[in-house]
Amino acid sequence: MADILSRYRRLVDAGELRVDPDQAAAAARLAKLQAELEAAPTRGSVLWRMLGKTPDAPQGLYVWGGVGRGKSMLMDLFYDAVQVQRKKRVHFHEFMLDVHARLREARKSESGDPIPPVVAALADEARLLCFDELVVNNMADAAIMSRLFTGLLEKRVTIVATSNRAPDDLYKDGLNRQLFLPFIDLIKAKLDVMTLDGPVDYRRDRLGHTKLWHVPNGPDATQALSIAFFRLTDYPVENRAKVPSEDIVVQGERTLHVPKSLKGVAVFSFKRLCVEPRGASDYLAIARRYHTVIIVGIPVLGPEKRNEAARFVTLVDALYEYKVKLLASADAEPMVLYPKGDGAFEFERTVSRLMEMQSDDYLALGHGTGGGSGQE
């Protein structure tokens, strides 16, 4: 099996990736970790017993930098290449939802501290944990992260994380931030902190100057959005009939079906999002989970469609708050989408946001930046 560095070089040689010295350096660092992980004695092995003491786990990495720099791409390459049996790659937000669910269960069955059993279970499942998009924007997460990660590292779990933020900027201005500071110290002490912040935002590049808002709905718009989707996700076109779907968890209790979900890009119909009875918590779950959302089939909203219009306002607010990139097909430009009816005046703010969301400045912003201030 080839290591991540040779896989990366092969993609560059094939012209699929552009030459980027920062990425090459990161790939080399990941290759080193790959070798360490593959050489590390597994639990209970002869080598482990011969050592006579618990061997140290390879030191993990915290890779941070602006959006579109290739952090997730490199982590995926690394994760696929590394020959480790117990490995897990998760989106950070989903991971924390899972942790909170496990903590709730542990509190039911035991009277003591729920964190150690949860840590033990997680460490049993994986000795390599890869987190994409580590971000902290609520107090519930902030309060437990230091203990959770200290526990995982003690149990010899190697952690690789990507983030848009430097460790010192995590949970910035969050409530009770002092309780969170030990986590920052932990990252800086125990993980190798590496920046991947070259000059090129490749995602923005891939979006090119493609139109984001397509009028009217129809085969041309569908075709344009489909091309954008495959360009954004590097998905082989011959597999296009089987793009994966996903069910995301909303508020830790119900699920929302995402018909197309790949590499942080989701595709929805307007009907599913705004005609069905959905609300702010669904939209926030989407906004946290996806850096890019494609909505198809937005109709012109007559006055009788005030519920749909109100949901659309809430949806756009959530996407805007989390700096999600929006592509859409609609029967009209934003300013004439909901000309009259209840709340048409408020809808003007949505129109203005929709315009701003098509600007270069907005598109250059990182997913989640500025969103969530620890008030949840």
Ligand X SMILES: Nc1ncnc2c1ncn2[C@@H]1O[C@H](COP(=O)(O)OP(=O)(O)O)[C@@H](O)[C@H]1O
Please tell me what DSSP assigns to residue 373: -
Distance CA 43, CA 184 (A): 29
Closest CA to 322 of 260, 366, 264: 366
Query: CA angle 312-244-204, nearest 5°?
Result: 60
Q: CB of residue 85 vs ligand X: minimum separation in angstroms? A: 25
203 binds ligand X (CB under 6 A): yes
Q: Which helix (H) or strand (E) holds 75?
A: helix 71-81
Is 350 buried (19+), middle (13-18) or exposed (0-12) by CB count in 10 A?
Answer: buried
72 binds ligand X (CB under 6 A): yes
Q: CB of residue 363 vs ligand X: minimum separation in angstroms? A: 13
Closest CA to 65 of 192, 172, 200: 200
Query: What residues contact residue 41 under an 8 Å CB cut-off, 6+ apart?
Result: 47, 48, 51, 55
70 binds ligand X (CB under 6 A): yes
Please tell me what DSSP assigns to residue 271: I
| Per-residue binder mask for ligand X (CB under 6 A), 279-318, x = binder | ----------------------------------------
Binding partner of residue 73 among Mg ion, ligand X, none, CB cut-off 5 to 8 Å per kind? ligand X
CB atoms within 10 A of CB 217: 18
Q: CB of residue 301 vs ligand X: minimum separation in angstroms? A: 33
Binding partner of residue 67 among ligand X, Mg ion, none, CB cut-off 5 to 8 Å per kind? ligand X
Binding site for Mg ion (CB under 5 A): 71-72
Binding partner of residue 151 among ligand X, Mg ion, none, CB cut-off 5 to 8 Å per kind? none
Q: CB of residue 157 vs ligand X: minimum separation in angstroms? A: 22
Task: Pick the binder of ligand X from 2, 6, 18, 121 (CB under 6 A).
Answer: 18
240 binds ligand X (CB under 6 A): no
**Cis amide bond preceding 216, omega within 30:** yes
Q: CB of residue 20 vs ligand X: minimum separation in angstroms? A: 4
CA 307 to chain centre: 30
230 binds ligand X (CB under 6 A): no
Binding partner of residue 18 among ligand X, Mg ion, none, CB cut-off 5 to 8 Å per kind? ligand X
Task: Pick the binder of ligand X from 69, 311, 323, 353 (CB under 6 A).
Answer: 69
Structure token pair of residue 90:
């998760």
Chain contacts with ligand X (rule: CB under 6 A) = 17-18, 20, 23, 67-73, 162, 202-203, 206, 234
